[in-house]
A and B are shown apart, each in its own frame.
Chain A
């Protein structure tokens, strides 16, 4: 069975600095999707970024980018120019691309604090 591990329960970053959140996963599959979600204090889950495993190019969305290392099964999220509004829980998630599978597997989350 697939697993997703976020080994950093909490991290802090100074405003305007860059921070990287780690995520590793375990799978025997070659095709899958990876996601990062943000959960601010409002509790709403917000999709930050998506990566398809078959794509070598790392996904980027404005100040958010990923470092996808397929062989190492690593999927880290880099937040550049951190802002106070980036303070939230961040969850990494995995979804198989195998036909007939529907489940998503989430990590336990990393709480990011942004210091003014």
Chain B
């Protein structure tokens, strides 16, 4: 069965510092991996995805993520955090070629960027 783990409920970082939000996954086949962000009282916004190819993928708002197959991880990163990055971040996985196309979400990590 597919699963996603986000081990940190909250990540605190000072503005201007680099940030990392962790995600590990489990699928039986090849993974499709995604990061979404949710601002208060808003729906989910797509940030980036890994399907195949280069392990480092770049997305919206300066975010990037690195796919590590051996560690089954897909950590979200940004070189310099902004206060406006403060939001709830979700990692999600879908299995390539799976019987369904449903996304399995992690529990979410609240990112708090202090000015």
Partners in one complex: no
Chain A interface (Cβ < 8 Å from any Cβ of B): none
Chain B interface (Cβ < 8 Å from any Cβ of A): none
